[in-house]
Amino acid sequence: MQLIDIGLNLGHDSFDRDRDAVWQRAEAAGVRRAILTGASREHSPKALELARARPGTWFATAGVHPHHATEYTDECDAEMRALHAHPEVVAVGECGLDYFRDFSPRPAQRKAFERQLQIAVDTQKPLFLHQRDAHADFMAMLKNFDGRIGPVVVHCFTGTREELFAYLDQDWHIGITGWVCDERRGEHLRELVKSIPAQRLMVETDAPYLLPRTLKPMPKDRRNEPMHLAHIVEELARDRGEDVARTAANSTAAAEAFFRLPARAAS
């Protein structure tokens, strides 16, 4: 397999002690490239710094997650725009709305999201989006930018059938994580993933979060790693009734096209 992890929080401090070894294990499991998630004023520059250390293998996003929306000032907007001047930054986000946690007030979330949507218009870079329990406002805000933004991926999709088809009707992409392996809250995804067209489906770990619960044995520290992307692809292939190699190849092709990556990874 030649996999691309489209959502990897490699700048997380849990990886500080062994980041190189984490990537070696990922490569051994078939993960050849990764999009490193930038989701705050602190971690977006770090994602770029890491991406520049492995050109052609690691790429970055730059954005502010709705949990951090209160930090989205004029100064923050200028910082995000400066990050997007670098070619290693291939998408705007992670940004969006999260009404499940409400770690930031909803008006602040909407304002931060709107400003990042404008960055996507100005740069014509793809959008790497987060939505949880905010579907109506999420769709309404994106509709305001209809015809002006480029490709969209709803990262870490965990939603309903209605939400999925609303996204697919817009020709958006869907990112699937180890949530599909969670029998407590992700079982519905096993049926829904059958409806995602191959050219719209991408895979991600969201590591160090969302450790797949079907792993055996389970890591003692419960930290997710990009090497587990292969396990997620195996689960997806079974759910979709596909050969694993086909699911892997299709997801990689979708990611290459979406993020405008070179066709081959660096060895």
The residues, ordered by sequence, that sit 6+ positions from 42 with a Cβ below 8 Å of its Cβ are none
Task: Note down the domain range covering 55.
Answer: 3-259
Over pLDDT 70: what percentage of the chain?
A: 98
The answer to whether residue 265 sits within a structural domain is no
The answer to whether residue 192 sits within a structural domain is yes
Instruction: 84-89: list long-range contacts, CB under 8 Å, 24+ apart.
Output: 84/119, 84/123, 84/125, 86/48, 86/52, 88/48, 88/51, 88/52, 88/55, 88/58, 88/59, 88/60, 89/38, 89/48, 89/51, 89/59, 89/60, 89/61, 89/62, 89/125
Model confidence at 264, in pLDDT bands (50, 70, 90)?
A: low
The answer to whether residue 267 sits within a structural domain is no
CATH code of residue 27: 3.20.20.140
The answer to whether residue 179 sits within a structural domain is yes
The answer to whether residue 59 sits within a structural domain is yes
In this prediction, residue 220 carries a pLDDT of: 85
Over pLDDT 90: what percentage of the chain?
A: 93
Model confidence at 267, in pLDDT bands (50, 70, 90)?
A: very low
The answer to whether residue 264 sits within a structural domain is no
Total number of domains in the chain: 1
Residue-wise pLDDT for 112-159, tens only, equals 999 999 999 999 999 999 999 999 999 999 999 999 999 999 999 999
The answer to whether residue 53 sits within a structural domain is yes
The answer to whether residue 245 sits within a structural domain is yes
pTM of the predicted structure, to 2 decimals = 0.96
